[in-house]
Amino acid sequence: MSGLSNELWSRRRFLRRLSQSVGALALVSGIPAIGRAAEMAHDRSSLIVRLSRPQDLETPVEYLDSSITPNSVFFVRSHFGPPAIIEEQWKLEIGGLVDSSRSLTLEDLRKFEIVDLPATLQCSGNGRAFFHPSVPGVQWQRGAVGNALWRGVRLRDVVKSISIKSGARHMQMRGYDSAPMPTTPSFTRSIPIERALDPSTLLAFEMNGEPLPVLHGGPLRMVVPGWAGDHWYKWLRRIDFQEHEAEGFYMQTAYRMPRQPVPSKGIASLPEVPVTVNPVKSLIAHPSEGSVMPPGDHLVSGVAFTGVGHMVNVEVSLDGGCSWDRAELEGKESEGAWQLWRYRWRASTKGPYIVAARATDSSGRVQPQATPWNHGGYLWNGIDLVHCEIA
């Protein structure tokens, strides 16, 4: 990528200058990213509480500026909260349409080839708060997303040893977490068998070099790069190969949207399909909403990701979307993982500004002005905007 000069990549100099205006940015040796999230120690108290029981915690968008989101600031979402699991007693059962059922311990799983994969996890409801008219559900804004280095084994390798019968089309997942009341439906889901056997689909037991934290599904969760968070099943207890999709509320009613956009008044009878692939999206980490900065050089930066393929372009607008200029994508693309981007803003004219970011991926998908309304408030990917002032 040509675009900005080599000088931009002379990172130390660039950052030294910028850190005066952007604040807490600094170079962290060994971490291939600048980043507020990367440079400071955090506890979960910096997360935004969207719901306290169970804890649904959102990452402040300012932290989405490093290639890896630390576990302590990684967003948290579940329907019923984490279960109490005694790790020594933990097992994964595999059954259904297979020749021989299996029961595996973590030690058994570790005998398969161990894989490290960076991948972006985004809740399908991330950005729900931006739909008009508003839709019920957790009112996530920007930070129900994070990028982690997942370590685990390929699901495909594990099931290779158990021949799956020919009628199997879906893989149902059951967890150790349970609904608070017998009348509440349990969070049971399934994914199509092709996706389960995709080489990027992992059974993960580590996150960013730590044993998978309980809040994130420890001891074992699914990693389904490119697909929305509801497929990234946590606290895995049992998987079954079967002919049909999982029954029940969380598969047959929730996490579905119409194949075609519908008017917001809604035509309820349109056929719906499960929410799967993440759309192309960029988010602005810096500057922050409402910031007032002196004239001079400022860093506009953030992350960009997509469900299929990789990023090819992020553009920045300083006039609310009238004109666009190319930002610099950092590092090498890796399918399923986000990429950092940055843009040097030479701000000389005082006044209010609307900074916008728009991403394009390798399938030619472009971030739209707004995402067509859907009643679940899923897969928002409208162009991100930040209001700030040069004064």
Binding residues vs Mo ion (CB under 5 A): 77, 123, 229-230
Give the C-alpha separation, 75 to 229, whole Å.
11
Report CA torsion sign: 260, 266, 270, 275. positive
Our finding on whether 76 is near ligand MTE (CB under 6 A) is yes
> In the structure encoding, which two tokens stand for residue 168, read together?
């199997």
The one of Mo ion, ligand MTE, none whose footprint includes residue 378, by CB under 5 to 8 A per kind, is none
Among 233, 241, 345, 380, binds ligand MTE (CB under 6 A): 233
Our finding on whether 307 is near ligand MTE (CB under 6 A) is no
Nearest residue to ligand MTE on Cβ basis = 229
Q: How many helices (H) and strands (E) does the chain have?
A: 7, 23
Asked if 63 and 36 touch (Cβ cutoff 8 Å), the reply is yes
Among 59, 67, 71, 78, binds ligand MTE (CB under 6 A): 78
User: Cβ of 192: how many Cβ atoms within 10 Å?
Assistant: 14
Q: Applying CB under 6 A, which part among 33-41, 60-68, 72-80, 340-348 lies near ligand MTE?
A: 72-80
Give the C-alpha separation, 277 to 122, whole Å.
10
Among 63, 150, 235, 380, binds ligand MTE (CB under 6 A): 235
Q: Which is nearer to ligand MTE, 76 or 94 (CB)?
A: 76
- Only one residue has tokens 């685990």, namely 152
Our finding on whether 338 is near ligand MTE (CB under 6 A) is no
Name every residue whose Cβ is closer than 8 Å to that of residue 287 and which is 6 or more positions away in sequence.
22, 293, 298, 300, 355, 386, 388
Our finding on whether 283 is near ligand MTE (CB under 6 A) is no
> In the structure encoding, which two tokens stand for residue 204, read together?
């993960």
Our finding on whether 232 is near ligand MTE (CB under 6 A) is yes
User: Cβ of 160: how many Cβ atoms within 10 Å?
Assistant: 12
Interacting residues with ligand MTE between 168 and 207 (CB under 6 A): 175, 177, 187
| Beta bridge pairs of residue 204 | 152, 221
DSSP, collapsed to helix, strand or coil, labels residue 20 as: helix
Our finding on whether 256 is near ligand MTE (CB under 6 A) is no
Our finding on whether 353 is near ligand MTE (CB under 6 A) is no
Among 37, 117, 123, 196, binds ligand MTE (CB under 6 A): 123
Our finding on whether 230 is near ligand MTE (CB under 6 A) is yes
Closest contact distance (angstroms) between CB of 114 and Mo ion is 27
